[in-house]
Structure 1
Amino acid sequence: MKSKSLFSIKCIVCCIVLTLGASVLLQAQTQEFLYGDMLPDAPELSERGSYTVGVRTLDLLHPDQVDILNSKAGKEVMYDRPLTVEVWYPAEISSGTEALVTYNEVMGTRGDSLRPLIPFTFNGRAVRDAAPKASEKAFPLIVVSHGYVGSRYLMTYLTENLASKGYVVVAIGHTDSTFKDANAFQSTLLNRAKDIRFVINEMERLGKSDSKDNLSGKVNADNTAIVGYSMGGYGVLNVAGAGYSDGMVQFFKGMADGSTAIQVLAASNAEYQNRSDPRIKAVVAFAPWGMERGVWDAEGLKGLKKPTFFVAGSQDDISGYEKGIKAIYEGAINADRYLLTYTDARHNIAPNPPPKEALAPGLHIDEYYRYADATWDQRKINNVNQHFVTAFIDAQLKGKDTSKYLDIPENSNAQDWPGFKPRSSTGMELLHAAPAE
């Protein structure tokens, strides 16, 4: 009799467990999958942090800049350069408030009749204009720079994720380089690094204790990481110490009617050599553009001394791999550096997944391939990026010991990587090289 009762209790418990499990599964199936959410095989550090995320838009003005698109040979025109940035941060949210925000974006490229601008929206897990987290010390700063063309919303899967882990994250909308306002390429070449440096300065100003902004006391710009994708990678490497080559300066002069404005960013310029920024503690460069075009030479790459995490696709057909991104990694001999490679991926190893609007028939294929990769599930790439960027930046900016996630032996796909679900870490390679100095 006793054994029958025990059996009955076990059956009841099993039914409860199965019912709860089915409920959780049903909830997971019916809940909208938002950019950055975890897939079942997402690695450990891709999980969001403990902070609810706030988000706000800021309009900044960088005074007295060279207006390269309206300058002529021997006569540079100056202007106040506008920049719109998006800021994600740990927020003070009242109980019962759902962390949900709608981002307004466009597909297409301005002025391209084959790719007209098409507005669309997508949701994220943040609260618009929420108050910053109270009673907390200042948070480390992360500045994010998109590709050409792109937008400040191109990598929300990562910006939201990092903010939830205790960072103030600022994504720049680079004027003349977004979907909405794409313009001649020389503006991107000249302004990318300058925009990044200016935004660091602005966030430091807004985060000071005597600032009247609501970010006052919340931003520790002395503890900064910079993240860039494609042309953003081109920019962050220069800000971090990899000065452009003299060949690049000559190339720019040819594009910009003889302007020497980019000379200030060249490795051979003494002024540039004295601009090392001690606030920058870490660099993440997704598919950085330029090596195959002579943007850097051996001497310029020696100037990169900040810890750097490179991410690449082995079939990148925009920035190149062996003679492009991997060559930068190998040439940056004075930096403690990593190179994560997605086997057979092309250039799009950083953006959000394609929006559903990009799946509509009749659109230019580039609306889809602005985001998607031909081989990899973009959601998988997003989760892996979250994991490794967290491990790297947490180590550099917060002093956390994340070495078990980063110290992965070469040719290790035969075994599961630390932090990855069983059988889920194939198709990637992670290299590490210590600085020569």
Structure 2
Amino acid sequence: MKKTFPHPAILYTISLVIFILSGTLYAQTSSFIYGDPLPDAPELAIRGDYKVGVKSLQFVNKDQVDILKSKNGAAPLYDRPLTVEVWYPANLDKGIEEFVTYNEVMGTANDSLRPLMPFTFNGRAARDASPLTMNGPFPLLIVSHGYVGSRFLMTYLTENLASKGYVVVAIDHTESTFKDANAFHSTLLNRAKDISFILKEMADIGKNGRQHILSGMIDSENIGIIGYSMGGYGVLNVAGAGYSDGLAGFFTQMTGGSNAISKLTMSNPEYHKVDPRIKAVVAFAPWGMERGVWDMNGLKGLETPTFFIAGDQDDISGYEKGIKAIYSGAVNANRYLLTYKNARHNVAPNPPPVESLKEGLHIDEYYRYAEPSWDERKINNVNQHFLTAFLGIHLKQKDYSKYLEIQENSNEEDWTGFKPRSSTGMELLHAKAVD
């Protein structure tokens, strides 16, 4: 008897239903939480030995330029509120689990096509747990999200690094989050300023003798800054890559005459010196090079060891003339560039939440997190692995060099620390600072 087969469209529909019902490819399940290792996770992706606590803190950066109210080149000052989430090594009482529920939203404020929709997801940390007073102090990491985003965008990474002996602080950048997104020029002006402010505040409250729960926890002489997209734009400036005069001119036009961003340009004598306590920089898909945010002179100001991460099909920040051009131009920094082949821009965030799979939602809710050619959980594990190595070398003086001294093309041979046959589709470039 002649065999008949279902129409391809029917097979596709069946597979899609199975995918949505199972939620196993991307979303959290009862057993999988963002950041958990897949069976082929590389060696250093595994969580560290410390239990993790998490808490929210509030800061106010006083007397900042309120660029959203700028008129005719002048702007009033305001006290800029900033919420941060802090993950840290914790001392957990018996019976207390590393389990937390994060409250997040999908959508974008003031966007009729993507209205705000609350959702929750789980993490492996204990809310408001007692900090571990032994074995410290711990290096400080500041994390800056994209536009738009939130402090919860990379919990797979923040929790993982805290478990390895870091105090990790992720910023909600006011006027740049899902909940309060506003005009882009606020992000252009405030991103680097927010990072510098929170870095100084956290280093200060972490000192011994301060009346704060984190007092004595923070090694303020060993600091790393991590940014994604507009966060990458910000951390590079904080680390010495002064913006171009072209960006300053564009900003002045955009704001009707304000020159508030000029203090962050390489040509301005007031452009700050790099905080010498910053020993490492991580830039995921940093935005701006294709738009003239930096010129070659500005990139030469980056001297801190830097680890870039990109997709070679990035259609937001650009690759050859964007991220890779930054990597090539930062000649005074010892630097790496990890590239995911066929990936676009989302090489940093958590996997898509299960709510993003719901019928009728704008596709951007899913593609705020997902990569079309990669399992985001795989990317998460690889990021955990390489940042553990890079940050461990520069902030903890660990001998992780073998994980970075590998074949450039991952298809040619298995990379050190990866399970056999699992390190495909990636490239790792390395360039030393010029003498």
Look up the equivalent residue of 2:318 and give its one-letter code.
G
Contact in 1 for aligned 2:244/2:292 (Cα 8 Å) = yes
Look up the equivalent residue of 2:103 and give its one-letter code.
N
Percent identity between the two aligned chains:
71
Q: Secondary structure at the residue paired with 1:417?
A: coil
More helix by share: 1
Q: Secondary structure at the residue paired with 2:257?
A: coil
Question: Please, which moves more after superposition, 155-164 or 31-40?
Answer: 31-40
Look up the equivalent residue of 1:426 and give its one-letter code.
T
Deviation digits for residues 85-111 of structure 1 (CA, Å, limit 9, x no counterpart): 000000000122111000000000001
Deviation digits for residues 305-331 of structure 1 (CA, Å, limit 9, x no counterpart): 000000000000000000000000000
Look up the equivalent residue of 1:308 and give its one-letter code.
T
Contact in 2 for aligned 1:108/1:367 (Cα 8 Å) = yes
Q: Give the Cα–Cα distance (whole angstroms) in 1 for the partners of residues 244 and 374 of structure 2.
A: 34
Q: Secondary structure at the residue paired with 1:421?
A: coil
Using the TM superposition, give the Cα deviation of residue 31 of structure 1 relative to its aligned residue in structure 2, in angstroms.
5.3
Question: Which residue among 420, 423, 432 is the counterpart of 2:421?
Answer: 423
Contact in 2 for aligned 1:50/1:165 (Cα 8 Å) = yes
Q: Give the Cα–Cα distance (whole angstroms) in 2 for the partners of residues 416 and 287 of structure 1.
A: 25
Contact in 1 for aligned 2:51/2:163 (Cα 8 Å) = yes
Using the TM superposition, give the Cα deviation of residue 76 of structure 1 relative to its aligned residue in structure 2, in angstroms.
2.0
Q: Give the Cα–Cα distance (whole angstroms) in 1 for the partners of residues 432 and 163 of structure 2.
A: 30
Q: Secondary structure at the residue paired with 1:248?
A: helix
Deviation digits for residues 350-373 of structure 1 (CA, Å, limit 9, x no counterpart): 000000000000000000000000
Question: Which residue among 331, 342, 350 is the counterpart of 1:344?
Answer: 342
Query: Which residue is equivalent to 2:35?
Result: 36
Look up the equivalent residue of 1:174 and give its one-letter code.
H
CA RMSD of aligned residues (A): 1.1
Q: Give the Cα–Cα distance (whole angstroms) in 1 for the partners of residues 322 and 370 of structure 2.
A: 21
Question: Which residue among 280, 283, 290 is the counterpart of 1:282?
Answer: 280
Once the two structures are superposed, the pairs formed by residues 300-319 of structure 1 within 5 Å of their partners are: 300-319=298-317
Query: Which residue is equivalent to 1:335?
Result: 333
Q: Give the Cα–Cα distance (whole angstroms) in 2 for the partners of residues 332 and 400 of structure 1.
A: 25
Query: Which residue is equivalent to 1:363?
Result: 361
Say which one has the larger Rg: 1
Using the TM superposition, give the Cα deviation of residue 428 of structure 1 relative to its aligned residue in structure 2, in angstroms.
0.2
Question: Please, which moves more after superposition, 252-261 or 334-343?
Answer: 252-261
Q: Give the Cα–Cα distance (whole angstroms) in 2 for the partners of residues 136 and 41 of structure 1.
A: 31
Contact in 1 for aligned 2:74/2:257 (Cα 8 Å) = no
1:47 and 2:46 aligned = yes
Using the TM superposition, give the Cα deviation of residue 276 of structure 1 relative to its aligned residue in structure 2, in angstroms.
1.4
Q: Give the Cα–Cα distance (whole angstroms) in 2 for the partners of residues 94 and 328 of structure 1.
A: 47
Q: Give the Cα–Cα distance (whole angstroms) in 1 for the partners of residues 148 and 106 of structure 2.
A: 10
Q: Give the Cα–Cα distance (whole angstroms) in 1 for the partners of residues 67 and 298 of structure 2.
A: 24
Q: Give the Cα–Cα distance (whole angstroms) in 2 for the partners of residues 162 and 62 of structure 1.
A: 27
Query: Which residue is equivalent to 1:127?
Result: 126
Contact in 2 for aligned 1:139/1:167 (Cα 8 Å) = yes
Unaligned 5+ residue runs, structure 2? Answer: 1-27
Q: Give the Cα–Cα distance (whole angstroms) in 1 for the partners of residues 45 and 357 of structure 2.
A: 27
Query: Which residue is equivalent to 1:209?
Result: 208
Q: Give the Cα–Cα distance (whole angstroms) in 1 for the partners of residues 409 and 156 of structure 2.
A: 29
Which ranges of 4 or more aligned residues in structure 1 deviate by more than 4 Å?
A: none
Once the two structures are superposed, the pairs formed by residues 202-281 of structure 1 within 5 Å of their partners are: 202-272=201-271, 274-281=272-279
How many aligned positions are there? 408
Contact in 2 for aligned 1:200/1:221 (Cα 8 Å) = no
